[in-house]
Amino acid sequence: MRRRHLSCLILILSAACTRAPRLANDVEVVPAPKLTLDPNDAAWRNAPEHVAKLLLQDLVEPRLMKPSTAEVRVQAISNGTEVAFRLSWLDPTVNDQTGPGRMVDSCAIQLPQVTGKDSPAPQMGEAGRVVEITMWRADWQAYVNGRGDTIRDVYPNAAIDHYPFDAQSLEKGSAAQAEMAKRYAPAAAVENRRVGPRKTPVEDLVANGPGSLSPNPTGSSDGRGSRSKDGWAVVIQRRLPERLSPKVRSQVAFAVWEGSQHEAGARKMRTGWIPLSLKESK
Amino acid sequence: MARVFNWQIGREMSYWYPESRPQKQFAAVFDTNKCIACQTCTLACKTTWTSGKGQEYMLWNNVESKPYGSYPQAWDLKLLDMLNAGEWDGNVYGGQTIFESAPAGERVMGWRPEDQDYSYPNVGEDDCAGQVNHGALMSLPHMQWFFYLARICNHCSNPACLAACPRGSIYKRQEDGIVLVDQSKCRGYQECVRACPYKKVFFNPMTGTSEKCIACYPKIEQGLQPQCFVNCIGKIRMAGFINRPEKAQGDNPVDYLVHIKKIALPLFPQYGLEPNVYYIPPVHVPSSFNRQLFGPGADAAVAAYKNAPKDPDLAALLCLFGCTESIMTHWRRQGDWVSGSDDKGKELVKVPVKEPVIIRPAFDPKQQIVRINCP
């Protein structure tokens, strides 16, 4: 009899723990004493969730003509200086490796650089009216999680005879060796290496219209993504937009790229602007 | 889309950007009849530019056996199947280019190779067009055919890669028309790989950006021909600059071969890119195949090429292929000699049109020995 009571108590407690968060019409940023990059952290249990329907990017070429990811579920918490967004979406396939014809699963958040009622065009901003974007990619997450930096980490059966920078005359780990390697990696030579070992799986960007995406040198975002049993859950943490307060709202937009559908760049599912509000501490 | 005039298809066509011609246009002539597929060009390029991590599979230059060779796999057949092609009316193309065939939402009609399409760099090597029946190889002319098609980026006048890049990361240099990927701007969307009908843009999985043939522009800037040209054993290649047909100069070697003699033709002109590598078509290949690859001028080009022994100027100019590392912007024949010079008129090379022939007797009476192995 006592054992049955214990079982009932465990069931009640677990039901309370897995209770779905409150659904919100907009993206509500709720105060939290401590932010977390862990998408599975308990801090997310009480954050209201907004279900954002995703639209085809069909305004500028190349467009996405066939819908893929239907919606992204969004939660947001803030400690007063930073804001963390948790995005989750269904995706049965893991695409975390680039290559010829291979695209990666990704997501991004976008905010107007200037908080106010009159936001720029939701499609990457517009001339003179900048948007700030933070992007997460599954391959970057894999590198953060420890993926190696050789061609065999991408193609395990690759056979390589020789690289010039492995010549015996070059001391291993020397500056001369690094310089030689750069000669055959032009993107790395101009500090635009898009894949490879990195400290964070996210990138800060700014844009003032389609095709204008460029690095945001003032950004300091971080993030972490993990697989759930049927999709991705990703936390992106960034600076709280200036002027965003319980009295001044802003806007936020989201995008999701489905690697298995060869989505990259402009070929994406995205939202329009969604109202973003900062809730007061209770 | 804007309207541009494409002289290779004899009409205006749609293109993503308005017409903008460079001050000079890099161009090349490849004589397919002289290529032996030794791949020295391929290795010259490979060792110079693509020996890094992620570049293992890249062949900015390759030589494939036609009809069955292709790299990446079926690069030509896949697009030919997709293209809303049409007939030529004389020199005017009546079908649609890849820009005019672009489906809704696309800038260019293209297809995206998968990584396995790059698994067989020399598939179809030396495979001829059909079955060689017993003993047939012993007779001439051979009943079956194949030929070698050497390929680099065509540095097109209407580049599909450039049109397709949503970020404007690909540009065509004003000074020489060479098409380059800005490695500081590319974000690896692979739209260029998808769009290039010749599949001469490659995605680097270790840097995450796309890379392509750069026509050895550091050499071009010094008046020198690219690595794949100067290392060519068969001397099949000549690099230079091409003018528009209405401004063709007879003393410009590329203009002479392309515009005046019309023996060098673009590869798949029907795609609409106005490619700037021009091929002297193979003389032993069915004309229908040549016409599909090189356009309606293929038969006349073959005839003119075959007539070269009776055409002193053409025969002379063909002798200048592979004779100097420098780019010859001018040429002239003087009797049995032909010379190439640069923009300033400085002579770069001078060669005899007919090599002197010296017949050495089999028996050397002075030394009382037989000089050759097989008397």
Instruction: Round the average pLDDT of chain A to a whole number and report it.
Output: 92
Of the candidates A61, A163, A265, the beta carbon closest to that of B107 is on: A61
Residues B294 and B281: their CA atoms lie apart, in Å, by 7
Q: Which of A22-36, A112-126, A219-233, B137-151 shows the lowest per-residue confidence on average (mean pLDDT)?
A: B137-151
Binned at pLDDT 50, 70 and 90, residue B374 comes out as low
Residues A108 and A134: their CA atoms lie apart, in Å, by 5
pLDDT recorded at residue B151: 98
Q: Which long-range contacts (CB under 8 A, 24 or more apart) does A129-133 make?
A: A129/A208, A130/A206, A130/A207, A130/A208, A131/A206, A131/A207, A131/A208, A132/A204, A132/A205, A132/A206, A132/A216, A132/A219, A132/A238, A133/A108, A133/A109, A133/A204, A133/A205, A133/A206, A133/A207, A133/A213, A133/A216
Please list every residue in chain B whose beta carbon sits closer than 8 Å to the beta carbon of residue A99.
115, 203, 205
Residues B359 and B2: their CA atoms lie apart, in Å, by 63
DSSP element (H, E) containing A133: strand A131-137
- What counts of helices (H) and strands (E) characterise chain A? 5, 14
pLDDT recorded at residue B373: 64
Distance of CA B279 to the CA centre of its chain: 6
Which two tokens mark B269?
């002109």
Of the candidates A58, A186, A211, the beta carbon closest to that of B211 is on: A186
The ipTM of this complex is 0.92
Residues A60 and A213: their CA atoms lie apart, in Å, by 14
pLDDT recorded at residue A8: 44
Q: Nearest-5° angle of CA B214, CA B219, CA B221? A: 95
Say if residue A4's pLDDT is above 70. no
Please list every residue in chain A whose beta carbon sits closer than 8 Å to the beta carbon of residue B113.
100-101
Q: What is the CATH number of the domain that holds B211?
A: 3.30.70.20
Instruction: Inform me whether the C-beta atom of residue A108 falls under 8 Å from chain B C-beta atoms.
Output: no
Of the candidates B49, B193, B206, the beta carbon closest to that of A151 is on: B206
The CA distance from B79 to the nearest CA of chain A, in Å, is: 16
Residues B353 and B312: their CA atoms lie apart, in Å, by 9
| From-to residues of CATH 2.60.40.1190 in chain A | 21-146+202-278
Residue B239 counted as domain residue: yes
Instruction: Round the average pLDDT of chain B to a whole number and report it.
Output: 96
Cβ–Cβ under 8 Å, residues A180 and A163: no
* A137 Cβ neighbours under 8 A, 6+ residues apart: A104, A105, A106, A201, A203
Whether B187 sits inside 8 A of A194 (CB atoms) is yes
pLDDT recorded at residue B362: 84
Say if residue B137's pLDDT is above 90. no
Q: Return phi, psi of residue A240, to 5°.
A: -65, 130
Q: How many domains does chain B have?
A: 1
Residues B197 and B212: their CA atoms lie apart, in Å, by 13
Three-state secondary structure call for residue B265:
strand
Q: Which of A140, A155, A148, A152 is nearest to A195 (CA)?
A: A140
Per-residue pLDDT tens over the stretch A173-196: 999 999 999 999 999 999 999 999
Please list every residue in chain A whose beta carbon sits closer than 8 Å to the beta carbon of residue B211.
186
Please list every residue in chain B whose beta carbon sits closer than 8 Å to the beta carbon of residue A102.
114-115, 205
Whether A99 sits inside 8 A of B115 (CB atoms) is yes
> Mind giving me the DSSP string for B338-365?
EEEE-TT--EEEEEESS----PPPSEET
Binned at pLDDT 50, 70 and 90, residue A5 comes out as low
Nearest CA in chain B to A185: B52
The CA distance from B28 to the nearest CA of chain A, in Å, is: 25
Helix %, strand %, coil % for chain B, to 5? 25, 20, 55
Please list every residue in chain A whose beta carbon sits closer than 8 Å to the beta carbon of residue B78.
none
The CA distance from A38 to the nearest CA of chain B, in Å, is: 27
Full domain range(s) for residue B44: 2-289
Cβ–Cβ under 8 Å, residues A30 and A78: yes
Residue range B195-219: mean pLDDT, rounded: 98
Q: Which of B53, B212, B91 is nearest to A177 (CA)?
A: B53
Q: Return the residue in A98, A208, A260 with the most chain B beta carbons within 10 A, the one to mutate for interface testing.
A: A98
Residues B375 and B361: their CA atoms lie apart, in Å, by 10
Nearest CA in chain B to A187: B183
Q: Which of B150, B147, B184, B175 is nearest to B65 (CA)?
A: B147
Instruction: Inform me whether the C-beta atom of residue A18 falls under 8 Å from chain B C-beta atoms.
Output: no
Of the candidates B104, B188, B190, the beta carbon closest to that of A65 is on: B104
Say if residue B23's pLDDT is above 70. yes
One-letter amino acid of B10:
G
Q: Write down the CATH number for the domain with range A21-146+202-278.
A: 2.60.40.1190
Say if residue B145's pLDDT is above 80. yes
What percentage of chain A has pLDDT greater than the value 90? 88
Interface A:B, Cβ pairs < 8 A: 140
Please list every residue in chain A whose beta carbon sits closer than 8 Å to the beta carbon of residue B105.
58, 61-65
Q: Nearest-5° angle of CA B138, CA B142, CA B143? A: 115
Residue B347 counted as domain residue: no
pLDDT recorded at residue A251: 96
The CA distance from A264 to the nearest CA of chain B, in Å, is: 6
Per-residue pLDDT tens over the stretch B219-250: 999 999 999 999 999 999 999 999 999 999 99
Please list every residue in chain B whose beta carbon sits closer than 8 Å to the beta carbon of residue A97.
205
Which residue did the predictor score with more confidence, B332 or A17?
B332
pLDDT recorded at residue B370: 85
Instruction: Inform me whether the C-beta atom of residue A164 falls under 8 Å from chain B C-beta atoms.
Output: yes
pLDDT recorded at residue A9: 46
Say if residue A13's pLDDT is above 50. no
pLDDT recorded at residue A16: 45
Instruction: Inform me whether the C-beta atom of residue A264 falls under 8 Å from chain B C-beta atoms.
Output: yes
Q: Return the residue in B14, B48, B99, B207 with the most chain A beta carbons within 10 A, the one to mutate for interface testing.
A: B207
Question: For residue B52, with 0-12 CB atoms within 10 Å meaning exposed, 13-18 middle and 19 or more buried, which class applies?
Answer: buried
Whether A150 sits inside 8 A of B53 (CB atoms) is yes
pLDDT recorded at residue A11: 45
Please list every residue in chain B whose beta carbon sits closer than 8 Å to the beta carbon of residue A65.
104-105
Q: Nearest-5° angle of CA B76, CA B189, CA A91? A: 105
Residues B151 and B278: their CA atoms lie apart, in Å, by 10
